[in-house]
Structure 1
Amino acid sequence: METAEHDVKMRLLLAAKKLFSRQGFDGTTVRQICEEAGANVALVSYYFGGKENIYRALFDMSFPQGLLLEGEDVKKEPVKAIKLLVRKVIIYQVNDPELVRLIQQESAQETSRVEIVQQYLVPVWRMAKEILEEGRKQGVFHFRSLDNTFLYVWGGILFPRSFGFFNPILSEPLPTTEEKIADVTGFVLGALRCSAHAETEPV
């Protein structure tokens, strides 16, 4: 019985994520979620208590806790840490584009659900700022404003080619995941005027 309930819950969560990412929260009904999941229309209320709660639950299910880098390496080795963070964020984008689109929608529209999204992202943001600040203290990163640098770096990591807005002017094929990781890492370290990066990269 528990296995059957778990299966239904997962189908509902996956259906909600798919529809929210495509149609937005307000443009998606509970009935549509249940139809997509092949489940009785009453089950969203039964298992989750409504549309708002299933929204929260899909973040509990999907948000990658592995984005938080653990251990003292974050403080001791900021160059290594920023490279690892770039890799983890890009792999997360590739593996779960629906959740990425959902986050982008909420942040762009500044809805009441932004606070739900921030609960998951703020710890990652704080960690990223700590990495940048430690790199500046160690003299391997060079920048004026910590806040502005964080915003530019985070924006550069998160703006996916698949967004499509610039397609009319783009001509190259989509990069592979590893190519994107290499490109973004190079741009981020270059923007930080990273001394370790300068030693290994041609001018």
Structure 2
Amino acid sequence: MSQADNDIKTRILLSARKLFAKQGFEGTTVRQICEDAGANVALVSYHFGGKEKVFEAIFQHFFSGNMISELEDQLSDPVVGLRTIIEETVNFSCVYDKELSFIIQQEMTMNSSRKAIVNKYLNPVWTKVKELLQKGKDQGIFHFDSLSYTLLMVMGVALAHKREYNYDAIIGESDMNPLEIADQTVAFIFKGLGVQMS
């Protein structure tokens, strides 16, 4: 594939990610994506095979959880591994890729037909968290009763910042710094697991 083909594919993916985040998958047309990308409408079919395939290609191209296999050494230690995944999860949605994070949230909330695509990418990350929690408990590092409840709570805390805008009336003027959310989240989770942080 030529550099020009790669460039246009990337432009289409960037435009689709932006528009899906802003307007939703159903509210975005192939024509809008191509107009934004400066591409011929036929190129979506040629390069991807349609809008649904563009949706999955966005995850293949941009989802940071795809690197989990590359971090295997780092993820073997329960404390280091859990810290790494939580930090990456929070930073992904707060700093690195708010658009893709918003797409994930939309699709999961709507329980859309694309939820299976989203879960294909999310499940390996949360499965690794589950493994790390169990390994940490087996080693006497993490302290909890139910693995299922603990996993749900870790997931909830790791994703809680994404719902801040729903609670403006309660939270009021937010003092949250996106660059500190990951550290605060890790500290909160580890306290809940009975781990003394240094």
Answer yes or no: same fold by TM over 0.5: yes
Shift in Å at residue 161 of structure 1?
Answer: 4.9
SS at match of 1:159: helix
Number of residue-to-residue matches in the alignment: 194
1:45-90 CA deviation, whole Å, 9 max, x = no partner? Answer: 121111011111111111112345402x534x31222122222222
SS at match of 1:160: helix
Report if aligned partners of 1:161, 1:174 keep a CA contact under 8 Å in 2: no
Aligned to 1:25: 25
C-alpha separation in 2, matches of 1:161 and 1:122: 19
Aligned to 2:4: 4
Shift in Å at residue 30 of structure 1?
Answer: 0.7
Find runs of 4+ consecutive structure 1 residues off by over 3 angstroms: none
Structure 1 residue runs of 5 or longer lacking an equivalent are none
1:70-126 CA deviation, whole Å, 9 max, x = no partner? Answer: 02x534x31222122222222222110000001111111111111111111111111
Amino acid at match of 2:148: D
TM (normalized to structure 1)? 0.88
Aligned to 2:72: 70
Aligned to 1:122: 123
Structure 2 residue runs of 5 or longer lacking an equivalent are none
Aligned to 2:153: 152
Report if aligned partners of 2:21, 2:100 keep a CA contact under 8 Å in 1: yes
SS at match of 2:166: coil
C-alpha separation in 2, matches of 1:102 and 1:145: 31
C-alpha separation in 2, matches of 1:67 and 1:18: 25
Shift in Å at residue 159 of structure 1?
Answer: 2.6
TM (normalized to structure 2)? 0.90
Q: What's the C-alpha RMSD, in Å, of the aligned pairs? A: 1.8
Tell me: CA distance 1:18–1:173, structure 2 relative to 1, closer, same or farther (3 Å): same
C-alpha separation in 2, matches of 1:34 and 1:162: 31
Shift in Å at residue 140 of structure 1?
Answer: 1.6
SS at match of 1:33: helix
Report if aligned partners of 1:15, 1:33 keep a CA contact under 8 Å in 2: yes
Aligned to 2:87: 87
Compare 168-177 and 117-126 and name the one that shifted more: 168-177
C-alpha separation in 2, matches of 1:172 and 1:98: 21
**Equivalent runs, 1:39-54 vs 2, <5 Å:** 39-54=39-54
Tell me: CA distance 1:159–1:91, structure 2 relative to 1, closer, same or farther (3 Å): same
Report if aligned partners of 1:67, 1:88 keep a CA contact under 8 Å in 2: no
C-alpha separation in 2, matches of 1:189 and 1:8: 44
Shift in Å at residue 169 of structure 1?
Answer: 2.2
